Amino acid sequence: MNIDLETIKSKKTLKELLEFSIINIDKPSGPTSFSVDLIIKNALNLKKTSHFGTLDPMVTGVLPVALSRACRLMPYFIGKTKTYIGIMRIHEEISEKKLREEIKNFIGTITQLPPVKSRVKREERQREVYRFEILEVSENKKDILFLAEVEAGTYIRKLISDLGEKIQGAHMLELRRIQASIFQENKSYTIYEFLEAVGEYKKGNKECENQLREMLIPGEIISEVLPVLQVKKQYINKLYHGSPLFKEYIGNLEKAKELKIDEKIAVFNEDKFIGTFRIIKSERILATPEFVLQPIK
């Protein structure tokens, strides 16, 4: 069965949503991604928030932020495809045809050395560039609007710098992320919109509670990035108490046969999310638990 997120949202109180949801923020230029986390955490009086995929302070765009227990879902989202639009400035005049030819050399598997200021170890690593194309060229032929769709962990500023080494220099002027995993720019909210909705909600404005609710994406959206298996109702409590996922617990065992060892799955009972599990496929056990969403007492 398909998991209907709108139905799930309609059944939950706002308090329940704040315990297990994600908000897709349109990050402005200036604050760090961690600062955005803190703004949301303080505004909602939450114990924890966590963003999926860090953006540099001057980079804008899609920044999904998990609330409360949804922070445990981060590993299932951060390794996905990211899409950016940006402006690069080329240092020496080059024909558009020649530039497009050079850009084609950066599509596919590339090797990158992370920049000095990055948080990761500085060693060469391979990343996939799925699309890298020119969208528009300015009148002075120096500023290039581009689109890049890349594997998570690809440094766009370094991509432009490496391109620059082939064309007598180029650097990035502006960058905006328009897609991260399944989260899109057209369904994001500015920090101002978020804080305004929270402020009105705290005043007791019922209409603006709906405005805040609309911004929250139930954590059950994990069903859109992981295969879903349905567990029989009588076994739910066993899973809450740490039981592995035995094959007899599953209602759609035929679907489970398609899954591979170490693959991650989302387990539901109808539209109720139970947790995430890792496939092992022993004689009796199908999967072991990674994260089980315990009921709120």
Q: In this structure, which amino acid lies at residue 168?
A: Q
Which residues in 33-42 are b (16+ Cβ under 10 Å) and which e?
beebbebbbe
Which pLDDT does position 253 carry in this prediction?
80
In a domain, 192, yes or no: yes
Total number of domains in the chain: 3
In a domain, 297, yes or no: no
Q: DSSP letter for 159, please.
A: H
Instruction: Provide, rounded to the nearest whole percent, the portion of the chain with pLDDT above 90.
Output: 82
Contact 79, 152 (CB under 8 A): yes
Mean pLDDT of 18-44: 97
Q: What is the mean pLDDT of the chain?
A: 93
In a domain, 150, yes or no: yes
H or E segment and range at residue 206: helix 206-215
Which pLDDT does position 11 carry in this prediction?
93
In a domain, 198, yes or no: yes
Q: How confident is the model at residue 282 (pLDDT cuts 50, 70, 90)?
A: confident
Is residue 122's pLDDT more than 70? yes
Which are the catalytic amino acids?
Answer: 56
Mean pLDDT of 25-37: 97
Residues 137 and 89 in one domain: yes
Mean pLDDT of 122-149: 94
Structure token digits, residue 124: 């060469």
| 134 strand-pairing partners | 146
CA distance 174 to 185: 16
Residues 206 and 65 in one domain: yes
CA distance 290 to 241: 13
Mean pLDDT of 56-74: 96
Residues 202 and 58 in one domain: yes
Phi-psi region at 77: left, alpha or beta (left = phi > 0; alpha = psi -120 to 50)? alpha
Three-class secondary structure of residue 154 per DSSP: coil
Helix residue ranges per DSSP H, 68-121? 96-104
Residues 157 and 270 in one domain: no
In a domain, 36, yes or no: yes
Residues 213 and 240 in one domain: no
- Only one residue has tokens 């995929």, namely 53
Residues 102 and 149 in one domain: yes
Phi-psi region at 141: left, alpha or beta (left = phi > 0; alpha = psi -120 to 50)? left
Which residues in 147-176 are b (16+ Cβ under 10 Å) and which e?
ebbbbbbbbbbbbbbbbbebbeebebeebb
CATH code of 115's domain = 3.30.70.3190
Residues 41 and 89 in one domain: no
pLDDT digits (tens, 9 = 90+) for 241-273: 999 999 999 987 888 888 999 999 999 999 999
Residues 173 and 187 in one domain: no
Domain of 281? 226-292
pLDDT digits (tens, 9 = 90+) for 188-241: 999 999 999 999 888 876 777 888 999 999 999 999 999 999 999 999 999 999
Is residue 50's pLDDT more than 90? yes
Q: How confident is the model at residue 119 (pLDDT cuts 50, 70, 90)?
A: low
Q: Does 114 or 272 have the greater pLDDT score?
A: 272
Residues 205 and 67 in one domain: yes
Residues 167 and 86 in one domain: yes
